[in-house]
A and B are shown apart, each in its own frame.
Chain A
Amino acid sequence: MPRVSMRVNGAQVSASVEPRTLLVQFLREHQRLTGTHVGCDTSQCGACVVHVNGKAIKSCTTLALSCEGAEVTTIEGLAAGHDLHPMQAAFRAHHGLQCGFCTPGMIMAAIDMVNRLGPDLSEETIRHELEGNICRCTGYHNIVKAIRAGAAAMGGMPLAAE
Chain B
Amino acid sequence: MAATGIGARVERKEDFRFITGRGNYTDDINRPGQAYAYFLRSPHAHAAIRKIDTKRAAGMPGVLRILTGADIEADKVGGLICGWMIHSKDGSPMKAGAHPALAIGKVRYVGDHVAVVIAESLAEARDAAEAIVVDYAPLAPVVDLATATEKGQPAIHDAAPDNQVYDWHLGDKAAVDAAFRKAKHVTRLDLVNNRLVPNAMEPRAAVGDYNAGEDAFTLYTTSQNPHVARLVLSAFTGIAPEHKLRVIAPDVGGGFGSKIFIYAEETVCVWAAKKVGRPVKWVADRTEEFLAIAHGRDHLTHAEMAMDADGRILGLRVKTRANLGAYLSTFASSVPTYLYAPLLSGQYNIPAIYAEVEAVYTNTAPVDAYRGAGRPEATFVIERLVEVAAREMGQDPAQFRRKNFIRKFPHQTPVIMCYDAGDYDAAMKKALEAHDVKGFARRRRESGRRGMLRGLGYSAYIEACGIAPSAAVGSLGAGVGLWESAEVRVNPIGTVEVLTGSHSHGQGHETTFAQLVAGRLGIPIENVSIVHGDTDKVQMGMGTYGSRSGAVGMSAIVKALDKIEAKAKKVASFVLEASETDIDFRDGKFTVRGTDKSIDFPSVALQAYIAHKFTGQQLEPGLKEGAFYDPTNFTFPSGVHICEVEIDPATGVTRIDRWTAVDDFGVIINPMIVEGQVHGGIAQGIGQALLEGAVYDKTGQLVTASYMDYAMPRADDLPSFTVGHTVTPCPSNPLGIKGCGEAGAIAAPAAVINAITDALGHEEIAMPATPQAVWKAVRAVAARAAE
Contact = CB atoms under 8 A, between A and B. Distances in A.
A38 to B, nearest CB: 7
Interface in B466-492: none
A93 interface: yes
A35 B20 contact: yes
A44 interface: yes
Contacts of B16: 82, 92
Interface stretch (A63-71, A94-102, A152-160): A94-102
A100 B18 contact: yes
A98 to B, nearest CB: 4
A45 B713 CA distance: 11
Contacts of B27: 28, 34, 37-38
A15 interface: no
A109 to B, nearest CB: 11
B620 interface: no
Interface string A116-132: 00000001001110110
B679 A142 contact: yes
A135 interface: yes
18 contacts: A28-B27, A28-B28, A34-B25, A37-B201, A39-B201, A44-B712, A45-B201, A76-B20, A88-B20, A95-B673, A100-B19, A123-B720, A131-B714, A134-B707, A136-B712, A140-B714, A140-B715, A141-B720
A41 B253 contact: no
Chain B interface extent, by class: 35 or more
A138 B677 CA distance: 7
A88 B22 CA distance: 13
B135 interface: no
A139 B21 contact: no
Given A84-B19, A98-B506, A138-B680, 17 more contacts: A38-B203, A42-B707, A79-B19, A88-B20, A92-B19, A97-B19, A98-B507, A101-B201, A126-B715, A130-B716, A137-B506, A138-B676, A139-B713, A140-B679, A141-B676, A141-B721, A144-B720
Contacts of B684: 136, 139
Contact of B676 (A78, A98, A127): A98
Interface stretch (B7-15, B261-269, B375-383): B7-15
B286 interface: yes
B715 A130 contact: yes
A162 interface: no
Contacts of B15: 91-92, 97, 100
A47 B201 CA distance: 8
Contacts of A136: 199-201, 254, 256, 680, 684, 712
Interface residues of A, number: 56
Interface string B189-211: 00000000001111100000000
Given A99-B254, A101-B202, A75 B680 contact: no
B21 A75 contact: yes
A136 B424 CA distance: 29
Contacts of B287: 41
B505 interface: yes
B24 to A, nearest CB: 8
Interface string B258-294: 0000000000000000000000000101110000000
A39 B286 CA distance: 7
B11 A93 contact: yes
A142 B723 CA distance: 12
B229 to A, nearest CB: 18
B708 interface: yes
B576 to A, nearest CB: 40
A130 B713 CA distance: 11
